[in-house]
Copies of this chain bind each other. A is one copy, B any other.
């Protein structure tokens, strides 16, 4: 029988990674150690070392397992402005009020040197871009979009600015700001005649 299928092994792994993530979120990556996870779960240190011979493996597994942004269901009812308000409002909330806001910076730093973390976070962003794309495609089918709307760039701008404000510039992410952001995006997206 393969180790990885033994229910005891699976159970230990899940328990440990849940605790590791909890520690990661409430303290920091560095607080995740075999000792701290052992204390949190009751799993013995030696067992944890058998699962993850080195701390970095434990930390990375914890990060990759649960550290992902909340799923944002694309809303494509229209009009575009309302859809953007919905999507970016949720993104804003994710950064302000969920673990993701605290975990993202750590992942970004890890991604700078670790391939797994890099492909994970790149994947998250690709998902987010795809969701946004479906919003713009729906707008196009409703005929709201300007024919020369630079959709790719708009999506990048829509998503990048909230991340940058929160993680790099240290500026507030609130609806006052979001309204202006969306207004600017719509200037480039909507066809001149369309109702705003």
Contact = CB atoms under 8 A, between A and B. Distances in A.
Interface of A: 28, 102, 105-106, 108-113, 118-119, 121-122, 125-126, 129, 150, 152-154, 156-157, 159-161, 163-165, 167-170, 180-181, 183-184, 187-188
A126 B109 CA distance: 21
A135 to B, nearest CB: 18
A153 B181 contact: yes
Contacts of A168: 108, 121-122, 125, 160, 163
Contacts of A150: 180, 183-184, 187
Nearest to A121: B168
Contact of A109 (B108, B125, B153, B187): B108
Copies of this chain: 2
Contacts of A28: 113
A187 B188 contact: yes
Contacts of A156: 161, 164-165, 169
A159 B156 CA distance: 12
12 contacts: A105-B109, A112-B167, A150-B180, A150-B183, A152-B180, A153-B180, A154-B184, A160-B163, A160-B165, A160-B168, A184-B188, A188-B188
A171 to B, nearest CB: 8
Contacts of A152: 180
Nearest to A156: B161
Nearest to A126: B169
Contacts of A113: 28
Contacts of A167: 108, 111-112
A42 to B, nearest CB: 28
Contact of A160 (B161, B184, B188): B161
Nearest to A103: B112
Given A159-B164, A161-B157, A181-B153, A111 B105 contact: yes
